[in-house]
Amino acid sequence: MSVVVNRDTFETEVVQSKEPVLVDFWGPQCRPCLALMPAVERLEQTYTGKFKITKVNAAENRMLCAKLKVFGLPTFLFYREGNEVNRLTGDQIRETDLTKAIEAVLGKKG
């Protein structure tokens, strides 16, 4: 199950995480976001123990979205060692795009 993150837990769950993190910014009215949810759940199972998957409900966390410059949905932020290393946004994102981005982050030497 994805870790649900908000402005109060973002620092602990994402920035201070020992493993790389995917932050899925989604909204309950965002059809592309809802369409990608099964893919994100599959990735979660595939990368258990290697990559932490977190979710942020953008509608409930507008201040966090503004702080991180997340202005469109869906948006996926990739963190490694507390720093954003990649970002995917837009309604054309596919599961293969997410997989490639995760693999790229895992392949980086830090």
Q: Which of 21, 23, 33, 77 is the catalytic position?
A: 33
Residue 68 sits in a domain whose CATH number is 3.40.30.10
Indicate whether 29 belongs to any domain: yes
Does the pTM of the predicted model rise above 0.85? yes
Q: Exactly one of 30, 101, 102, 105 is catalytic; which is it?
A: 30
Q: Which residue from 92, 106, 89, 90 is spatially nearest to 43, judged by alpha carbons?
A: 106
Cα 4 from Cα 53, distance rounded (Å)? 9
Structural domain containing residue 29: 3-83
Q: Is residue 54 part of a domain?
A: yes
Tens-place pLDDT, residues 14-30: 999 999 999 999 999 99
| pLDDT for position 101 | 97
Alpha-carbon distance of 66 to 19, in angstroms, equals 25
Question: Above 70 in pLDDT, residue 108?
Answer: no
Q: Is residue 95 part of a domain?
A: no
Q: What is the mean pLDDT of residues 33-37?
A: 96
Would you say residue 97 lies in a domain?
Answer: no
Asked if residue 22 belongs to a domain, the reply is yes
Told to judge if 65 belongs to the known catalytic residues of this protein, a careful annotator would answer no
* Tally of structural domains, the chain: 1
10-18-73 Cα angle (round to 5): 40
Model pLDDT for residues 48-69, shown as the tens digit of each residue: 999 999 999 999 999 999 999 9
Is residue 12 over pLDDT 70? Answer: yes
